A and B are shown apart, each in its own frame.
Chain A
Amino acid sequence: MDIEQLQKLATLSRLNITPEQSPALAEELDNVLRLVDQLQAAKTDGIEPMAHPLQIDQPLRRDTAAQPADRSALQNIAPATEAGLYLVPKVID
């Protein structure tokens, strides 16, 4: 994995990777990819991919009113809120 690829992954993952961290991290990720590359030897022609361990149907519940979430309890733990809204840095000038 080269530094450019690593930076692309960091962007996809919304992480910052400094130039000092890059070589060691690239090597670690390469080691993991070498491990998972063992998969390529498996014969999987015609095998249905398995996303989930159980065949569960989507369960239905009774159509009755439930308690709405308590907004103030959920926002009390937010880093910054105002008038029931979450605050983030300005997005549009």
Chain B
Amino acid sequence: MHNLTLTQSIAGLRNGQFSSRELSEALLARIAEHNPSLNAFITVTAERALASADHADQQRVAGNAGPLCGVPIAHKDIFCTRDVRTSAGSKMLDNFVPPYSATAVERLEQAGAISLGKANMDEFAMGSSNETSYYGAVQNPWARDSVAGGSSGGSAAAVAARLVAGATATDTGGSIRQPAALCGITGLKPTYGRISRWGMIAYASSLDQAGPMARSAEDCALLLREMAGHDQLDSTSAEIAVPDYCGELNQRKDLSDLKIGVPSQYFGAGLDDGVATAVREALAVYESLGATLVEIELPNSALAIPAYYVIAPAEASANLSRFDGVRYGYRCADPKDLEDLYRRSRSEGFGDEVKRRIMIGSYALSAGYYDAYYRKAQQVRQLIKQDYDAAFNQCDLIAGPTTPNTAWAIGEKSSDPVSMYLEDIYTIATNLAGLPGLSLPCGFAQGKPVGLQLTGRHFDESTLLQAAHHYQLNSDWHQRGPEEFCQ
């Protein structure tokens, strides 16, 4: 049962082949067996899940089944879940049980989805390997000594290891697409504003965006359709109608009207040969499906990482100032005065990477440096957006590698933050411009999965999903799983 996709699970539940309780129990048993080593979940909510499964089974009998009725999923532990601990991977929030749920979580619940638990992540989503989590690194199901990617490493590993068929995740600089690539699954970062950020613990508010992870584009469409849409509680969520992503998947007979831009900058130095080969083969498949490849330029792409490491830490230093030991979360023992309460609660509650980014942000925003760093980074952000505007005059989608390398060994880069930052070289510009991006499996290098990244126009997730779906109808990379977890 664990090898079923979301789409197949829904069909099985609808046809009465199995109940939601049976499906949930089967997956919970797998979590109990594999999670102690994989570490994909921080919290497993077995009892609540089974109660929800029973409720879903009753709803189905009563004829009230929603589109995801009885389907088990997982939530990244960055989404507030009412009465369920929400840690954001941090000691700071190890004791935080929110009194409300994120809008994305509520919408999936209303559609009938069942949460089996909260997925591991880099602390406050700051990391590319899941190693900054207070709860420890996540193992990559394809190579247990390797990282699962980050920050949504737990969600990606849980989906790849067939512990759940779908999960929620978030992406600020690549945190959905990069772990999706490293774990051989499909992950979509929608356009900024497509999904409400209400109840999603903030890292960098002008970049953060929620999205789905699953084993196919078809399954991502199912989750996105429920998660997307305007929310009064998030004034940056767009008031733009949500298309029927599932219905539109097969809108195109072939891809003959699709122009795919290939940026020369994404195939230069630093790209692993095996990754390059797999990505070029995927582009050849697109050509064989009728798409036209056009070479494009994104001349400022090398500046995306430097701009990001000013803008994201600057926003983070402001967002994380709320963690003060007063209203919720960690408080140090016996503070001698208010200043001591703030400083010691934060010093003891935050991990090293979070502290580094807060301090970089404080530096970039401080008097005398603001123009040289923050303002300059925002200008470069504008240049990067203009590059994309020009590129999308020539093409409908942009394609390239999601990551320069496959999954690296746990511990290999953790002592050198900058070398880790460079792993996000192809994903970060998309967040700066607010564009939607998707990673889908397109082969292997050194026995580990390789991801193909597709980037689209603002609010054109449908074209991304259609292009990914067509590829998946004509390839089987997305159906492959790590042998150990597929039996």
B99: chain A residues at CB < 8 Å are: 70, 73-74, 76-77
A52 to B458, CA, bound (A): 13
Q: How far is the CA of A53 from the CA of B362 in the complex (A)?
A: 22
Q: Tell me whether B434 and A54 are in contact (CB under 8 A).
A: yes
User: Given A32-B417, A59-B235, A70-B99: A10 and B359 within 8 A (CB)?
Assistant: yes
A54 touches B458 (CB 8 A): yes
Give the contacting residue for B378; candidates A9, A50, A59; CB below 8 A.
Answer: A50
A56 partner, pick from B238, B321, B382, B383, beta carbons under 8 A: B238
With A10-B359, A56-B236, A79-B331 already in contact, 16 other A-B pairs whose C-beta atoms are closer than 8 Å: A14-B346, A28-B417, A32-B356, A32-B418, A39-B307, A49-B378, A50-B381, A54-B193, A54-B238, A59-B232, A61-B232, A76-B99, A79-B326, A88-B341, A89-B340, A89-B341
Residue with the greatest number of chain A CB neighbours at <10 A, chosen from B98, B300, B336, B381: B381
Which of A48, A51, A70 has the largest count of B CB atoms less than 10 A from its CB?
Answer: A51
Point out residues on A near B: beta carbons under 8 Å: 6, 9-10, 12-17, 25, 28-29, 31-33, 35-40, 42, 44, 47-54, 56, 58-59, 61, 70, 73-74, 76-80, 86, 88-91
Interface SS of A by simple majority: loop
Flag whether B306 is at the interface (Cβ < 8 A).
yes
Chain A residues, CB < 8 A from B379: 42, 44, 47-50
Let me know if A14 and B307 touch, CB within 8 A. Answer: no
> Who on chain A is nearest to B307 by CB?
A39
B309 near A78 with CB under 8 A, answer no
Q: Please give the number of chain B residues whose Cβ is less than 8 angstroms from any Cβ of chain A in the complex.
A: 74
Closest 3 CB pairs of A and B: A53-B434, A49-B378, A44-B379
Contact in complex: B362, A59 (CB < 8 Å): no
Which positions in B face A, CB cutoff 8 Å?
95-99, 192-193, 206-207, 230, 232, 235-236, 238-239, 300, 302-303, 305-307, 309-310, 317, 321, 324-329, 331, 335-344, 346-347, 350, 355-356, 358-360, 362-364, 366, 372-373, 375-383, 385, 417-418, 421, 432-435, 458
The one of A10, A40, A90 in contact with B376, judged by C-beta atoms closer than 8 angstroms, is: A40
Known: A50-B385, A59-B239. A39 touches B327 (CB 8 A): no
Instruction: State how many angstroms separate the Cβ of A10 from the closest Cβ of chain B.
Output: 7
Question: What would 7 A/B residue contacts be, using CB atoms closer than 8 Å?
Answer: A14-B342, A15-B350, A35-B305, A53-B192, A76-B99, A80-B331, A89-B336
Q: Is the CB of B375 within 8 A of A49?
A: yes
Contact pick for A15, options B95, B347, B373, B433, CB 8 Å: B347
Query: Which of A29, A53, A88, A91 has most chain B Cβ within 10 Å?
Result: A53
Smallest CB gap from B305: residue in A = A35
Taking CB atoms, residues of chain B closer than 8 Å to A90 are 337
Q: Which residue of A lies closest to B382 (CB)?
A: A50
Check A29–B363 contact: CB distance below 8 A.
yes
Contact (Cβ within 8 A) A52 B206: yes
> Of A47, A52, A70, A78, which contacts B327 at CB under 8 A?
A78
A39 to B193, CA, bound (A): 27
The interface residues of chain A lying within 8 Å CB-to-CB of B366 are 9, 12
Q: Report yes or no: A35 in contact with B363, Cβ–Cβ below 8 A.
A: no
Report which of A12, A56, A74 forms a contact with B193, defined as CB distance below 8 A. Answer: A56
- Residues from chain B with a CB closer than 8 A to the CB of A76 are 99
Say whether B418 contacts A35, CB under 8 Å. Answer: yes
Complex Cα spacing A16 to B344, Å? 7
Cβ-defined contact, B343 with A15, below 8 A: yes
CA separation between A61 and B417, bound complex, in Å? 44
Task: Report B-chain residues with C-beta under 8 Å of the C-beta of A36.
Answer: 306-307, 309-310, 360, 364, 373, 377
Identity of the chain A residue whose Cβ is nearest the Cβ of B193 in the assembled complex = A54
Interchain CB contact under 8 A, B236 and A16 = no
**Please, which residues of chain B bring their CB within 8 A of the CB of A79?**
325-326, 328-329, 331
> How many Å lie between the Cα of A12 and that of B361 in the bound state?
10
Residue of A nearest to B327 (CB): A78
> Which residues of the partner chain A approach B381 to less than 8 Å between Cβ atoms?
49-50
- Give the interface centre of A47, A50, A89 by most chain B CB atoms within 10 Å: A50
Given contacts A39-B307, A53-B192, contact A13 B356 (CB under 8 A): no
Q: Which of B207, B331, B376 has the largest count of A CB atoms less than 10 A from its CB?
A: B376
B337 contacts A89, CB within 8 Å? yes
Q: How far is the CA of A37 from the CA of B363 in the complex (A)?
A: 13
Docked-complex contact B326 and A86, CB < 8 angstroms: yes
The answer to whether B328 and A78 touch across the interface, beta carbons within 8 angstroms, is yes
Contact status of A42 and B303, CB under 8 A, knowing A12-B366, A13-B358 = yes
Provide the residues of chain A in CB contact with B421, threshold 8 Å: 32, 35
CB pair A13–B317 under 8 Å, yes or no, is yes
